Structure 1
Amino acid sequence: MSFVAINGIRLHYRIDGTEHSDAPWLVLANALGADLTMWSAQIAAFSSRFRVLRFDTRGLGCSEAPPGPYTVDDWCADALGLFDALSIERAHFCGISMGGLIGVALGARHGDRIDRLVLAHTAARLGSADVWSARAQQAREQGTRSLADATLKRWFSSAFTAREPLVHAAIRDAFVHMDGEGYAGNCEAIGDADLRAELGAIRAPTLVMTGRADPSVPPDDSRALAQGIEGARFVELEAQHLSNIERADEFTRTVLGFLSAPTSP
């Protein structure tokens, strides 16, 4: 396992595709309540073309969980600190849900470090502060296990759960073992984040993806995100909240097609 000390905490990360030493970097950012293993279905294809960096956001997975609340600034500082520690000058960035919100912030505030953006199942404003505050309180008082069943019903369709019980079980296992304080700190960061006024600053070519049946981030919210970013492409998949798992092959093909497309003149 690989760790690096950044901003006073230890962040867990993993690199694939290191045999392609001159390949572009692709950074993957997780959803709230998931760890870097949520990208397992994409790694073989992505690492054949890119040097792929996955990391656990502060408070999640194997990264350290300092007391919350956290902020968007914390997320950006952690990501850029990881870039610097690994000598990554620029990278493509792909994030889902909370990871996508991190991508919005990086694209708007640190566009000199971002080549192309993939923002999946996310928006510039994710729900209301009251909802996230209540979820943070529940995580602190009752632990993430108390949130698992309701969350995974939003993440995956019942058909997927029946078809892929082992995948579902692995995702649930990662969720229930998340640190309650770390989960809560990230809830508070999401609740405070409103990046709608910053979308016009994003200049990187951007792909926004959503699921037609996503109950966590309604497709209209993701569509509004795409409309706020000049030239952004918008794609809907037949999925709920984690299309990279529920529609893994289609998600992977779509992202690779976008990242490999010629740059517009």
Structure 2
Amino acid sequence: MSHVPETPVALLHGVGLDAGMWEPVRDALKRDSVALDLPGHGQQPALTAPTSLAELAEDVLARLPQQSHLVGFSLGALIAQYIARFHPDRVATLTCVNSVCRRTEEESRAVMARLASAEDDFPATVEASIDRWYTGTSVPKSVVEATRRTLAGNDIGSFVHAYRVFATGDAIIGPELGSISVPTLAVTGELDPGSTPDMTHRLTEAIPGAKSLVVPGARHMLPVQDADVLAGAINDFIQESEGERT
């Protein structure tokens, strides 16, 4: 009997970060995984011109396994939603981690203000992000410093191009969410001020059959702060969806 290769987990990070943020989750996953750098991040060339959610998704799609359990965090979640909507044959399951969804006018104004701040004073944006993501958590200082170094190391123009997609991409994919047909899990932190529990509930209401999980005490960097909890949720969700297919 021929062995059917296991469908891997593919992990997409958030704006200003890189594939390395997933290491704690990958260690706790029960299956093969691959973490990709988004365009303009990590080992990928800097973005030198405005881009779109569709362009980012097409770039990622070209580097993804033929089919995967797709997990996206923050900007990565918007890209994952786009791929699940328009290339469902490539996605076995979709997990959206700390994802924004259908921002209100007030939420849109807040993120556009952060975009303007990134253009005007990038070092201040780095510090504001670290504060928003980690303040009040027990994440070790060395891990927080590693995140700060990754953020500060960004090409500023490239970061701004990517952040603009993050700030506006939910308005692009929002109207399409009802057409996503793959099994979907939406996860966020109880204390995430930007990708709020409300947004996770909006996602599960928009995507047919989607499930939600809000992790108590977690902020935005859930994959770092509570890697075991997140990996456990992904493992359980994949196992459950595979059981429903057999």
The answer, yes or no, to whether TM exceeds 0.5 is yes
2:164 maps to 188
The question of 1:72 aligning with 2:35 is answered no
1:24 maps to 7
Q: Which amino acid aligns with 2:31?
A: R
Supply the distance in 2 between the matched residues of 1:96 and 1:113 (Cα, whole angstroms): 18
User: How far apart are 1:182 and its partner, in Å?
Assistant: 1.2
1:38 maps to 21
The question of 1:250 aligning with 2:224 is answered no
The question of 1:99 aligning with 2:76 is answered yes
Q: Which amino acid aligns with 1:56?
A: D
Supply the distance in 1 between the matched residues of 2:48 and 2:111 (Cα, whole angstroms): 16
1:237 maps to 215
The two structures, once aligned, show a CA RMSD in angstroms of 2.1
Change over 3 Å in CA distance of 1:242–1:57 after alignment to 2: same
1:3 maps to none
Moved more, 167-176 or 186-195: 186-195
Q: Secondary structure at the match of 2:94?
A: strand
The question of 1:58 aligning with 2:39 is answered yes
1:200 maps to 178
Ranges of 4+ aligned residues in structure 1 off by more than 6 Å: none
Q: Which amino acid aligns with 2:43?
A: C
2:137 maps to 159
Q: Which amino acid aligns with 1:243?
A: L
1:210 maps to 188
The question of 1:170 aligning with 2:166 is answered no
Deviations 1:73-126 (A, max 9, x none): 11111111113xxxx321110011111111111111111111100001113335
2:118 maps to 139
Q: Secondary structure at the match of 2:137?
A: helix
User: How far apart are 1:134 and its partner, in Å?
Assistant: 4.2
Supply the distance in 2 between the matched residues of 1:260 and 1:42 (Cα, whole angstroms): 17
User: How far apart are 1:171 and its partner, in Å?
Assistant: 1.0
Supply the distance in 2 between the matched residues of 1:56 and 1:233 (Cα, whole angstroms): 27
Unpaired runs of 5+ residues, structure 1, are 1-19
The question of 1:148 aligning with 2:130 is answered no
User: How far apart are 1:242 and its partner, in Å?
Assistant: 1.4
Contact 2:13-2:19 within 8 A present in 1 as well = yes
1:119 maps to 96
Supply the distance in 2 between the matched residues of 1:21 and 1:182 (Cα, whole angstroms): 40
Structure holding more helix per residue: 2
Contact 1:107-1:204 within 8 A present in 2 as well = yes
Contact 1:108-1:199 within 8 A present in 2 as well = yes
Normalising by structure 1, report the TM-score.
Answer: 0.82
Unpaired runs of 5+ residues, structure 2, are none
Deviations 1:115-154 (A, max 9, x none): 10000111333575554444444434433x2211211122
Supply the distance in 2 between the matched residues of 1:251 and 1:208 (Cα, whole angstroms): 11
Supply the distance in 1 between the matched residues of 2:49 and 2:116 (Cα, whole angstroms): 11
Contact 2:28-2:228 within 8 A present in 1 as well = no
Supply the distance in 2 between the matched residues of 1:159 and 1:243 (Cα, whole angstroms): 10
Supply the distance in 1 between the matched residues of 2:10 and 2:174 (Cα, whole angstroms): 23
Supply the distance in 1 between the matched residues of 2:83 and 2:22 (Cα, whole angstroms): 20
Structure holding more strand per residue: 1
Identity among equivalent positions (%) equals 24
How many corresponding residue pairs? 237
Normalising by structure 2, report the TM-score.
Answer: 0.88
